[in-house]
Amino acid sequence: MPDNDILTDPFFWALLSAVGMGAGNTIVADVLPRSRFLGALVVASVMLGRILLVLPFCPQPRFELAGLHWPLGLVLIGAGAAFVLPVSRVHWTTAPDASERLRSTGVYGLVRHPAYLGNIVLCLGWAVAFRSTVGVALTVLWWLSFWLHARIEEASLLRTYGADYEAYKRRVPWRIIPWTHFHTRVAS
């Protein structure tokens, strides 16, 4: 394979993930029709890009953790999965639907967007496990993109659930990262 092969360029995979995130924003903003297939395609591009860019076939700087990269990476992957798996019953690949009940307990009682928290921690775990400097550095940008995505999604959730969602926001002030100042203050 030539050195300039696009499939071995980690930034190609990061770009694919970013395009998926942008498409996800149009879905939750009710711009595109409710399509589970399109939503699944968006989720696949977001996840595939972020996972493949950390793998050894993408040449990039790698860091050392004295052999702890696998155990630490697996702990992070497990923690991320703990937030993503309980959300798998929700139709999160499409815009909010009033026929679904507003979930506010379990992982939703900790943060309003547990799938995004889990997704970020999961991908950080992959990056740590494969010692990917690029993957760890991009985790901050992914968090920012999920934070922006959550803001768009919350406008859609507010249109769908109204006062119930406002009350939920007051009860659970953290969008993605619990116990931080990265949340929206809601007037009482």
Per-residue pLDDT tens, the chain, 188 aa: give them. Answer: 445 688 888 888 888 888 887 777 676 666 555 677 777 777 777 788 888 889 999 999 999 999 999 999 999 999 999 998 888 766 655 667 788 889 899 999 999 999 899 989 999 999 999 999 999 999 988 888 888 888 888 988 999 999 999 999 999 999 999 988 655 554 44
pLDDT, position 188: 41
| Phi then psi dihedrals of residue 108, to 5 deg | -75, -15
**Across-strand partners of 29?**
none
Q: Torsions phi, psi of 174, nearest 5?
A: -95, 125
CA 44 to chain centre: 12
Tracing tokens 């900790």 back to the chain, one arrives at 110
> How far is 73 from 123, CA to CA, in rounded Å?
9
The pLDDT value recorded for residue 1 is 43
d(CA 136, CA 126): 9
What pLDDT score was predicted for residue 87? 82
One-letter amino acid at 144 equals L
